[in-house]
Structure 1
Amino acid sequence: MDTHGVTARTDATRAGPGAAPRSGPGPTRPWDAFARGRTVLDAFDQLAGGLATSILAVVMLVWLVATALACLVGVGLPLVPVTLRGLRAVANRERARLSRWGPEVLVPEPGPTRLRAAAADPAVRRETRWLVCHATAGLLLALTGLTLPLSAATDATFPLWWRLVPPEQAAPSPLPLWTVHDWPGAFAVCLLGLGWIAVVAGVAPGMAWLQAWPGRRLLAAAPGTDLALRVAQLTATRAAALDAHATELRRIERSLHDGTQNRMVAVTVLLGAARRAVARDPSRADAILEQAQSAAEQALAELRGVVRTILPPVLADRSLTDALTGLAADSPVPCRIDADVPGRCAVSVEATAYFVVAEALTNVARHSRARHVTVTVRTHDGRLRLRVTDDGRGGADEHGGSGLVGIRRRTEAHDGTLVLTSPPGGPTTLEVDLPCGL
């Protein structure tokens, strides 16, 4: 078996994409340019996702108009429930997309399916207005934002290929302002392409924001929905916290009862036998006392093991990275820890993260038949994010008795989230997101 690879990276001065720009004079830091490039790439990713939902919006808008026209002639009423459910499905797809790139947009309760009730429902009216905006302006912004980089790249590489096309087609794009006949003109187009690249990099984030703005304004839940859902969520997580606490107490009680308590009973019995042996057969007393000492040492070791599962001392003495490194060293499957945690989180959060990784590594060793596992730990925007990935056979089932239910309960007890991706054949990825400050 290969040795365990452990990588831990800490940098207290790391700046992420969301860090505030530095004021004052001075040279540009390398990660500032990297953060800007990441922002531009994220903007193009958002525009690409918006293009997909805008195409769905166009199809849904055509269907909606067709249903409305059919209702005018009296044959479209049977299509109304299907149309309303389709409208809600497309709107929910956009809500999910917006939630991935910013504050969560809550999904409302299922809406009405009858024409009169839908016409009076404010949520349906807002979704219809968003549909029109996204199918027109959203589609235009997506197409513009995604075709401009291609045109800019075409112009920037113009000197490499302009001699290979017919003379009447050797012109800059997207606007053929002039026809190129010589090398100075080709390099002029190249400079124009580089300028286009700078322009696109500058306006892409704004275009992505503008494309998402109607959705955030019109698809947001009604006032009071956020609070009601939050209360319901907190009620559920409180129940999960109580269940997780009760489960942990039962586990500790079972460990003490089945292990340490039995060892202590054995010590008591052996000490009683030693006392009797001193009076009857002193030669046997030493052997019995040696057995009692061995049983006491085993009881002490088991008690230390139980204590470590409650709150690992290494978390208090050192850091979460060091604690996870110890888990990786003890894992029967080669494990690599990639941790970038500049600061400390709340003790309960770090203990939960330790438990999640320990349980995940146990599952990998027992069920996955993996040859390697990677644990990635990051902090961003006040959240602690864990990802455990293995190259095993996949097919992990949360309800299959593999400990994933316990991981979910402890995660949700801290108002966190758990996402499990484990297709048959692998790989398996377990992602946990926890707030750092609870």
Structure 2
Amino acid sequence: MSGAGAGIGQLASGLGTALMALLVLVWLAVTAVTSPVGAGLLMAPSALRALHALAGRERERLGRWGPEVVAPEPPPTRLRLALVDPTTRRELRWLVRHATLGFLLGLVGVFLPVSAVRDSTFPLWWRFAPKDATSTSLGFGTAHSWPDALAVALLGLGWITIILGLTPGMAGLQARPGRGLLAAGPETDLSLRIVELTATRAAALDAHATELRRIERSLHDGTQNRIVGVTVLLGAARRMVARDPAGADELLERAQSAAEQALAELRTVSRSILPPVLADRGLAGALSGLAANSAVPCRVDVDVPARCAASVEATAYFVVAEALTNVAKHSGAAHATVTARSRGGRLLLCVEDDGRGGADEDGGSGLTGIRRRIAAHDGTLSLASPPGGPTTLKVDLPCGS
């Protein structure tokens, strides 16, 4: 019902702008007719400003009901410039369509729920209606008995069926001219794409610098300190080997243990750069290994027939690893699911858990780092985590970048 309710709301809000579009269309028509005698030339700037303001209002309305409609550069209001301006021409085409088809669809969108409520509740109040009053919302028929009243209620159920089946499509049809004609042109799209790429490049460099700092800290605070410890122990054992062989042997054992720990930490750091399991077992095997080591029981479903670029697979691996870590630390979930699909040159990941929900990207849960990794590949991330759960993390990455 939520889709039908949203469709009715969108159609009703579209009826408001369609009514204003009809008034502006009449205004422009009067301006065009009177322009030869001079009055239209004086009215033209005001009419064009009204057109541009209404187009901006429609962009805002469409943005509230779906993806944002990016506005182009402000169009001119002088008549001579407006006649050759592509943005103004597209707005005029939208105005005609919205004032006609959009207006009719809006009327239908308002009529349907009113008729559904009236007809479906008719048996509750039909006895209080005037004797010869029309029974149905369509304007025909009178009810003289309970079967007649129930027949009207069946018509109301028919209206509800139509609302559920058609209103989302009607809302999309009403919005289509605005989304197609009021959006910025190719030049603006290119500028926005440059801005987007600049932002993702900055995010990639920031993520790269963060990763380098993490590796440097791991090597400096862990491996390097243990190797220094090995050197100190070996020097002490060398000095003691002549006078205290037993003490020297103990120091050598400690040095060997420290060297083994340093080697283990070095392997951990190297795996964090590019996990060898990806090269050995592919993405499916790597994700299965993550699920097997997860603190929360996890099911893995992978359908990726062809190998992706190594950097993409590494990003997918680390994203799932971080997501499962977050599940174990913050969600209180009893079960998690990891899904990977390769479709149309894109790698689609989904990590879902049945925990308490309420994941916050600004709460230090690692989601910011995940988003930066994905942005470096020009991918997208969406998170749905309502209070009470479930939490669903979806990632879309290009396979070949």
Say which of 360, 380, 391 aligns to 1:417: 380
| Structure 1 residue 284, shift from structure 2 partner | 0.8
Aligned to 2:303: 343
Say which of 379, 384, 396 aligns to 2:362: 396
Aligned to 1:174: 137
SS in 2 for 1:279: coil
Aligned to 2:236: 273
RMSD: 5.1
Contact 2:71–2:182 (Cα < 8 Å) also in 1: no
Aligned to 1:93: 60
* Alignment partner of 1:434 is 2:391: no
| Structure 1 residue 229, shift from structure 2 partner | 4.3
**Residue identity opposite 2:303 in structure 1:** G
**Residue identity opposite 2:89 in structure 1:** R
Contact 1:237–1:415 (Cα < 8 Å) also in 2: yes
**Residue identity opposite 2:223 in structure 1:** T
Residues in 2 aligned to 1:56 and 1:130: alpha-carbon distance in whole angstroms: 12
Residues in 2 aligned to 1:149 and 1:238: alpha-carbon distance in whole angstroms: 49
Aligned to 1:260: 223
Q: How does 1:125-140 map to 2 (within 5 A)?
A: 125-131=89-95, 133-134=97-98, 137-140=101-104
Contact 2:4–2:164 (Cα < 8 Å) also in 1: no
* Alignment partner of 1:290 is 2:250: no
**Residue identity opposite 2:399 in structure 1:** G
| Structure 1 residue 358, shift from structure 2 partner | 5.9
Residues in 1 aligned to 2:293 and 2:356: alpha-carbon distance in whole angstroms: 18
**Residue identity opposite 1:96 in structure 2:** G
Provide structure 2 residue ranges, at least 5 long, that are not aligned to the other structure: 32-38
| Structure 1 residue 282, shift from structure 2 partner | 0.7
Residues in 2 aligned to 1:76 and 1:371: alpha-carbon distance in whole angstroms: 61
Aligned to 1:8: none
| Structure 1 residue 210, shift from structure 2 partner | 2.4
**Residue identity opposite 1:343 in structure 2:** D
In the superposition, relative to structure 1, how do residues 416 and 86 fare at CA in structure 2: closer, same or farther (>3 Å)?
farther
Q: Deviations over 1:36-64 (max 9, x none)?
A: xxxx8646534523433553565587689
| Structure 1 residue 362, shift from structure 2 partner | 7.7
Structure whose alpha-carbon radius of gyration is higher = 2
Residues in 2 aligned to 1:276 and 1:153: alpha-carbon distance in whole angstroms: 97
* Alignment partner of 1:248 is 2:208: no
Contact 1:130–1:214 (Cα < 8 Å) also in 2: yes
Aligned to 2:171: 208
Residues in 1 aligned to 2:397 and 2:258: alpha-carbon distance in whole angstroms: 43
Aligned to 2:105: 141
Residues in 1 aligned to 2:356 and 2:25: alpha-carbon distance in whole angstroms: 46
| Structure 1 residue 141, shift from structure 2 partner | 1.2
Q: How does 1:88-237 map to 2 (within 5 A)?
A: 89-94=56-61, 96=63, 100=67, 107-112=70-75, 114-116=77-79, 117-118=81-82, 120-131=84-95, 133-134=97-98, 137-145=101-109, 147-149=111-113, 151-152=115-116, 155-156=119-120, 158-159=122-123, 161-162=124-125, 165-166=128-129, 168=131, 172-223=135-186, 225-226=188-189, 229-230=192-193, 233-234=196-197, 236-237=199-200
In the superposition, relative to structure 1, how do residues 108 and 385 fare at CA in structure 2: closer, same or farther (>3 Å)?
farther
Q: Deviations over 1:166-204 (max 9, x none)?
A: 354885542142111223223333443444444445543
Residues in 1 aligned to 2:365 and 2:382: alpha-carbon distance in whole angstroms: 15
Residues in 2 aligned to 1:169 and 1:326: alpha-carbon distance in whole angstroms: 76
Residues in 1 aligned to 2:214 and 2:356: alpha-carbon distance in whole angstroms: 27
Contact 1:259–1:302 (Cα < 8 Å) also in 2: yes
In the superposition, relative to structure 1, how do residues 218 and 239 fare at CA in structure 2: closer, same or farther (>3 Å)?
same
In the superposition, relative to structure 1, how do residues 419 and 130 fare at CA in structure 2: closer, same or farther (>3 Å)?
same
Residues in 1 aligned to 2:136 and 2:286: alpha-carbon distance in whole angstroms: 55
**Residue identity opposite 1:271 in structure 2:** L
**Residue identity opposite 2:214 in structure 1:** R
Contact 1:167–1:181 (Cα < 8 Å) also in 2: no
Residues in 2 aligned to 1:209 and 1:392: alpha-carbon distance in whole angstroms: 31
Aligned to 1:51: 12
Pairs aligned (count): 377
| Structure 1 residue 252, shift from structure 2 partner | 2.0
In the superposition, relative to structure 1, how do residues 135 and 275 fare at CA in structure 2: closer, same or farther (>3 Å)?
farther
SS in 2 for 1:434: strand
| Structure 1 residue 217, shift from structure 2 partner | 3.5
Contact 1:393–1:426 (Cα < 8 Å) also in 2: no
Aligned to 1:21: none
Aligned-pair identity in percent equals: 49
**Residue identity opposite 1:130 in structure 2:** W
In the superposition, relative to structure 1, how do residues 147 and 386 fare at CA in structure 2: closer, same or farther (>3 Å)?
farther
Q: Deviations over 1:93-145 (max 9, x none)?
A: 25536764xxxx76244324653545542113322442453355324313423
SS in 1 for 2:396: strand
Choose between structure 1 and 2 for higher RCO, CA contacts under 8 A separated by at least 6 residues: 1
**Residue identity opposite 1:265 in structure 2:** V
Contact 1:259–1:299 (Cα < 8 Å) also in 2: yes
Residues in 1 aligned to 2:338 and 2:14: alpha-carbon distance in whole angstroms: 32
| Structure 1 residue 436, shift from structure 2 partner | 5.7
Provide structure 1 residue ranges, at least 5 long, that are not aligned to the other structure: 1-39, 330-335
TM superposition score normalised by structure 2? 0.68
